Amino acid sequence: MTVMKMRMPSVPLINVDPYFSVWSDAEILHKKAPVHWTGKPNTILGTVCVDGVPYRFLGKSEDEALPQVALDANALTTIAVFEGAGIRLTARFTSPMLVEDLYYASRPVTYLRLFWESLDGAEHTVTAKMTCSEELVLNKAGEGRAWSKEEKLDDLTSIRMGSGAQKVLWRSGDDVRIDWGYFYLTVRGEAEVGNTVIDDLYAVYAETALENEALFLFAYDDIDSMIYFGETLQAYWKQDGKTIEEAIIEAAAEYENLYLQCEDFSEKIRTEALMKGGETYAELLMLAYRQVMAAHKLVVDKDGNNLYISKECFSNGCAATVDVTYPSAPLYLRYNTELLKGMLRPIFKYSRTPEWVFDFAPHDVGQYPLLNGQVYGKNALKYQMPVEECGNMTILVAAICKTENDYTFAEENMDLLEKWNKYLVEFGADPADQLCTDDFAGHLAHNVNLAFKAIMGMVGYADILTHLNRAKEADALMEKAKEYIAFVLENAKNEDGSYRLAYDRPGSFSLKYNTVWDKLWQTNLLPEDFFKAEIQRYKQEALPYGVPLDTREKYTKSDWELWVACLSDNRADFEFFTGLLWKAYNTMRTRVPMTDWYFADTSEERGFQHRTVQGGLFMKLLFE
């Protein structure tokens, strides 16, 4: 593993889904107790006993800390090295969420492999103990009571813990954690397990002799994962009736081979990132990958369709949000379009229900994990994003079909795609006062970047028409797109050659991230002078840690910064943007899983964390 030079803003440890997600907000793992991605405590304590003396390596306790001497991470594994008491201890957390394999992308098991070697040449007796608190199975400590039960799983030793009140899928929300289902702490081979108290919290532990190495497994069975328009759905990994006990046994048996698969896949990402964007870019992708995967849940509906449900983390908890899917798409366009289809299927379904009364695409289908329709004022126009979501859906479907060279997915949804394209044609050239994906900035009329999205949606739909043998309609639509491009270029140009935030705001600027599709698809609707002028303006507007989103504020968005970085064919320009973003995360005082919304002048978090939109950082990998 190549050593990561970035000081990670938060260190991934156990990363499975929006509920089962444990991080360290300190780079020295024994400095603080681990936390859930929301920042609420998920107290876990890791200790080793060397020749009868206990030392902690993870979390807080009265035991002396074993000094940490190294920390590193790649896409799927985090490694920490500790030295003291005559030994070197290595702790290796691996969450095998392999995007190319739906089963592993879903199975809720994370590994911790511990191994040690003597530093002083002497023989040592070493045991290892992991203690996990009730906070893993309660929303907050004190909200209910946990209990535990020892489990015997073939040659494994295991203990499970759960809340006494099993109210499965009883609520939704953003800053909430799971309080149903069962957490499993397992050791391969012989171990002692039981319950204890740490920090006044009920906890379970597993302790084993560390004869050079030991393998711990952390697993969570949520029982049921989602309610989908009244239907209760289970996770993908439970297909064919597989139980959590069977999944844990299987996971323990295949650890060594699966770890090598994880290393190979991580190196695959890193090698391509190095080639296309350099070292800082590769590190950004290494840190983003597990976060993106673990902010989704893969389930299967009653018809056997895969649904890959995002949670809009620390944004309002919406589920299957289109304008979160849109920026996250590059990771899935690069590695597995089936998961991207799984993000879009709920939107298509909701749009066909009687509840959805609009002729444009919806923003989301509910609040995680209850997908029964929007919860923030159903059918209230002021909360919707009409041009935004129509553009997103048509662009993404076209991108999927182009990637697969198969237009079946579009053909299955032409009733809605045609309706949404008509909306773009009617309202897209000069959008009315409405929200776009940057809804945190408020409503805006005459949004130039939003007009570009509408146009690229039209271009994507024209491509679909072409491949469905409707060439005449496709040609007419492309002519309309060219007409709209001419309108934007004529009415949005600043004196310096860059283009405005809005038609009626001369001198203003904004990141024109939606034009990246013209570059990627090589449709050449925009002249090269457009891209050169925009890049020049962005570099002029740059602050120490990024380029502001637009003229109105000093905050920026990580995903959009790296989309506009792709507008230049110059490698130095791309590395300029990645360098600013890398520096922001490297210095950020707010210790949370990669925020995508931060102040470009100070690097401080503005809001949002642990969101799937970091999949947008993978955009450069889509370019040849």
Residues 172 and 316 in one domain: no
Q: Does residue 296 lie within any of the structural domains?
A: no
Same domain (yes/no): 320, 206 = no
Q: Is residue 449, in this structure, part of any structural domain at all?
A: yes
For residue 382, being part of any structural domain is answered with: yes
Q: What is the DSSP string of 407-436?
A: -HHHHTTHHHHHHHHHHHHHHSSS--SB--
Specify the number of domains making up the chain: 2
Instruction: Give 23: exposed, middle or buried? Use CB within 10 Å, 0-12, 13-18, 19+.
Output: buried
Residues 200 and 315 in one domain: no
> Based on the domain organization, do 368 and 484 belong to the same domain?
yes
pLDDT, averaged in runs of 10, over the chain (624 residues): 88 98 97 98 98 98 97 98 98 98 98 98 97 98 96 96 96 97 98 96 97 96 98 96 98 98 98 98 98 98 97 95 97 98 98 95 97 82 92 98 98 98 98 93 96 98 98 98 98 98 98 98 98 98 98 98 97 98 96 97 95 98 96
Burial per residue of 287-312, b for 16 or more beta-carbon CB atoms within 10 angstroms, e otherwise: bbbbbbbbbbbbbbbeeeebbbbbbb
Measured distance CA(286)–CA(178) in Å, rounded: 27
For residues 471 and 337, state if they share a domain: yes
Closest CA to 521 of 487, 481, 489: 481
- Please check whether residues 207 and 92 belong to one and the same domain: yes
Write the CATH number for 200.
2.70.98
Let me know whether 186 and 329 are in one domain: no
From 208, 223, 238, give the residue that closes a domain. 223
Select from 197, 223, 249 the last residue of a domain.
223
CATH of the domain at 359: 1.50.10.10
Q: Is residue 391 part of a domain?
A: yes
The whole-number pLDDT of residue 78 equals 98
Provide the token pair at 603.
């690097």
Last residue of a domain, one of 170, 202, 223: 223
88 plus 186 within the same structural domain? yes
> Is 339 among the domain residues?
yes
Does residue 558 sit in the same domain as residue 421? yes
393 and 534 share one domain: yes
User: 326 is written with which tokens?
Assistant: 């849109």
In a domain, 239, yes or no: no
Q: Is 518 domain-assigned?
A: yes
Residue 510 placed within a domain? yes
Given this model, what pLDDT does residue 443 score?
A: 94
Outline where 412-548 has alpha helix (H): 414-427, 448-467, 471-491, 516-520, 528-541
Question: Does one domain contain both 218 and 314?
Answer: no
Domain span holding position 106: 11-223
What is the C-alpha separation between 71 and 561, in angstroms, rounded? 28
**182 and 310 co-located in one domain:** no
Give the whole-angstrom CA distance, residue 230 versus residue 253.
Answer: 37
Reading across the β-sheet that carries 231-233, which strands appear in turn?
231-233, 226-228, 370-371
